[in-house]
């Protein structure tokens, strides 16, 4: 199968997307990979799979690659004598953060009729925003961590006990996130968060909370990964998380009871089906007093969470054959015809 890897983007996570994308070479071994880079100024470039390495991007050398244009049914190389489409079977959206996770890339892939693996637009818009994720989870009967919501111009008052964790609503990879141990630190943490976003959520910081990650997809059946208990420091800073995006070998399953595993998997399925069809996502759960709480949805997880699956590549192959289809809308101009008749113009 020929898989186009879309990566880069105008995002704070541009660089970790490059790391994720390069990691795919070690993960998708049987497949032909076609690399399509989205530059920080949002142009598309066709990158030579043989030559891909991180320096190509940091040096700006990628600009010598062929630029692509997005049109109906594909990405095209324009030339003097017409344009030629870039050949692939399915696009894999590996753009972390803005553009990739917020729904823009999904919108464009749907609009331009390109088969793609990623949460669709609606799923992206909801899961990219941590506040909307709360609404979604609540409506699906999945419990989440308690929270308060603050907008940039709101009074900076919270009613929760310290320590708390401050998160910009629209960013991933711990960017702009702070743990606040007492009231005197709140202002600074909010200043940091509001550097990145206009809205934040505040959650209780639970020391030593049990965290479990579950990835998965639905193809013709559920394809659930192992449950991982990530080894965490207080929380991952950007640099450590960065290295995390280059993981390419399977990790060990968490040592948990079948009951807990089932609870985690039931919550995952409630979130995933049907909104996230067509994607591989990772949900991060907290377990507090035997209760499974959704912490966050990773709509484009680092290196696609490949390290949680026994045979990631086969799963991707099955998923690419089970993508959701758009409703077909036929425009027959029946109403315009009838108005024209009424006006005697027809």
Residues contacting residue 239 through CB under 8 Å, at least 6 positions apart:
none
Alpha carbon distances (Å) from 180 to 14, 145, 185, 236: 28, 16, 6, 15
Closer CB to a copy of itself, 252 or 342, in the complex = 342
Residues contacting residue 259 through CB under 8 Å, at least 6 positions apart:
none
Closer CB to a copy of itself, 58 or 314, in the complex = 58
Q: Is 298 helix (H, G, I), strand (E, B) or coil?
A: strand
Closer CB to a copy of itself, 249 or 330, in the complex = 330
Tell me the per-residue interface mask from 169 to 208 with a copy of itself, x by CB under 8 A, - otherwise: ---------------------------x-x----------
C-alpha to C-alpha distance for 75 and 5, rounded to whole angstroms: 12
Closer CB to a copy of itself, 187 or 273, in the complex = 273
Interface pick for a copy of itself out of 103, 176, 299, 302 (rule CB under 8 A): 103
Residues contacting residue 188 through CB under 8 Å, at least 6 positions apart:
178
Q: Are 217 and 305 in contact (CB under 8 A)?
A: no
Instruction: Give the angle 36-40-43 at the CA atoms, nearest 5°.
Output: 50
C-alpha to C-alpha distance for 150 and 89, rounded to whole angstroms: 43
| Sign, Cα dihedral of 267, 308, 172, 70 | negative
Closer CB to a copy of itself, 49 or 340, in the complex = 340
Q: Per CB under 8 A, which of residues 276..315 are in contact with a copy of itself? A: none
- The verdict on 69 binding a copy of itself (CB under 8 A) reads yes
User: Among 15, 199, 212, 215, which residue's Cα sits nearest to residue 97?
Assistant: 15
Tell me the per-residue interface mask from 247 to 276 with a copy of itself, x by CB under 8 A, - otherwise: ---------------------------x--
C-alpha to C-alpha distance for 285 and 145, rounded to whole angstroms: 9
Interface pick for a copy of itself out of 71, 181, 232, 240 (rule CB under 8 A): 71
Shortest reach from residue 132's CB to a copy of itself, in Å = 7
Q: Which stretch binds a copy of itself (CB under 8 A): 118-126, 159-167, 214-222, 292-300?
A: 118-126
Alpha carbon distances (Å) from 127 to 13, 95, 169, 299: 16, 15, 10, 7
- In sequence order, the β-bridge partners of residue 70 are 75
- The verdict on 341 binding a copy of itself (CB under 8 A) reads no
Closer CB to a copy of itself, 249 or 327, in the complex = 327
C-alpha to C-alpha distance for 36 and 242, rounded to whole angstroms: 21
Interface pick for a copy of itself out of 242, 248, 270, 323 (rule CB under 8 A): 242
- The verdict on 113 binding a copy of itself (CB under 8 A) reads yes
Q: List interacting residues with a copy of itself (CB under 8 A).
A: 10-12, 14-16, 18-19, 40-43, 54-55, 57-58, 69-72, 78, 80, 98-99, 102-104, 107-108, 110-113, 121-122, 125-126, 129, 131-132, 135-136, 139, 149, 151, 196, 198, 238-239, 242, 274, 327, 329-331, 333-340, 345
């Amino acid at each position: 199968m020929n898989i186009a890897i879309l990566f880069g983007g105008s995002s704070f996570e541009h660089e970790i997307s490059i790391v994720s994308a390069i990691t795919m070479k070690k993960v998708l071994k049987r497949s032909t990979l076609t690399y399509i880079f989205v530059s920080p100024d949002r142009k598309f470039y066709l990158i030579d799979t043989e030559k891909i390495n991180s320096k190509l991007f940091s040096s700006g050398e990628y600009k010598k690659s062929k630029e692509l244009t997005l049109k109906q049914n594909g990405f095209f190389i324009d030339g003097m004598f017409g344009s030629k489409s870039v050949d692939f079977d399915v696009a894999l959206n590996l753009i972390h953060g803005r553009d990739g996770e917020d729904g823009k890339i999904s919108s464009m892939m749907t609009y331009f009729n390109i088969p793609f693996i990623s949460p669709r637009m609606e799923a992206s818009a909801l899961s990219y925003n941590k506040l909307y994720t709360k609404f979604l989870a609540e409506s699906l009967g999945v419990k989440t961590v308690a929270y308060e919501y603050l907008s940039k111009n709101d009074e900076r008052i919270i009613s929760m006990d310290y320590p708390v964790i401050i998160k910009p609503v629209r960013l991933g990879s711990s960017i702009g996130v702070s743990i606040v141990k007492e009231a005197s630190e709140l202002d600074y943490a909010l200043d940091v968060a509001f550097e990145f976003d206009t809205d934040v959520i505040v959650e209780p910081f639970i020391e030593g909370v049990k965290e479990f990650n579950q990835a998965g997809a639905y193809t013709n059946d559920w394809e659930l990964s192992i449950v991982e208990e990530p080894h965490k420091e207080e929380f991952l800073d950007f640099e450590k998380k960065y290295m995390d995006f280059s993981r390419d070998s399977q990790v060990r399953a968490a040592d948990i009871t079948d009951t807990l595993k089932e609870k985690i998997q039931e919550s995952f399925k409630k979130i995933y089906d049907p909104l996230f069809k067509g994607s591989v996502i990772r949900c991060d759960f907290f377990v507090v007093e035997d209760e499974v709480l959704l912490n966050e949805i990773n709509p484009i997880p680092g290196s696609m969470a490949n390290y949680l699956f026994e045979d990631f590549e086969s799963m991707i192959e099955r998923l690419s054959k089970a993508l959701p289809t758009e409703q077909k809308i036929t425009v027959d101009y029946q109403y315009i015809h009838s108005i024209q008749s009424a006006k005697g113009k027809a």
